[in-house]
Amino acid sequence: MRYILLASHGRLAEGMLQTVEMIMGAQRDIWTLNAYVEEQVDLHSQIREALQKLGGDDELIVVSDIFGGSVNNEFMNTLEDKRIHLIAGMNLPLVIELITLKHIEMDTKQLIQTALKNSKASNKYCNATVAVDFEDEEF
């Protein structure tokens, strides 16, 4: 089984899942980790708790908010476990792609590469896309 864990500073992960469910409906097999929102809960224990949910054949795709941030860095320490795949740079198109592809019979590394490629195509500078030239328009 493949699971997805959205992990962020603050409540970005929780908000991301809420937005995904608004668009795609209720999601199973997706967890969130909201770091630093409760003073008495440390990040290391949150990660340990999430990893304890995995079975021996399960894989976990972790999507962190920012490369080099403390959440991402703490997950970097778990990568000796080959069941864990870490992606930095959480965004809605990427999460939707991962959810859409996660049940397809495909190597997880290939699935992630496909999701990254497809989601990057949705990043656009819209002004340039529609070639707006305000000087030529009459108001």
- pLDDT 10s digits, 49-104: 999 999 999 999 999 999 999 999 999 999 999 999 999 999 999 999 999 999 89
* Residues spanned by the domain of 128: 2-136
pLDDT of residue 126: 85
| Exposed/middle/buried for residue 28 (C-beta within 10 Å: 0-12, 13-18, 19+) | exposed
Spatial contact of 105 and 98, defined as CB atoms under 8 Å apart: no
> Amino acid identity of 44?
H
Q: pTM of the entire structure?
A: 0.90
How far is the C-alpha of 104 from the C-alpha of 99, rounded, in Å? 10
The count of structural domains within the chain is 1
Burial 85-100 (b: 16+ CB within 10 A, else e): bbbbebeeebbbbbbe
pLDDT of residue 138: 62
Beta carbons within 10 angstroms of residue 48's beta carbon: 11
Q: What is the CATH number of the domain that holds 55?
A: 3.40.50.510
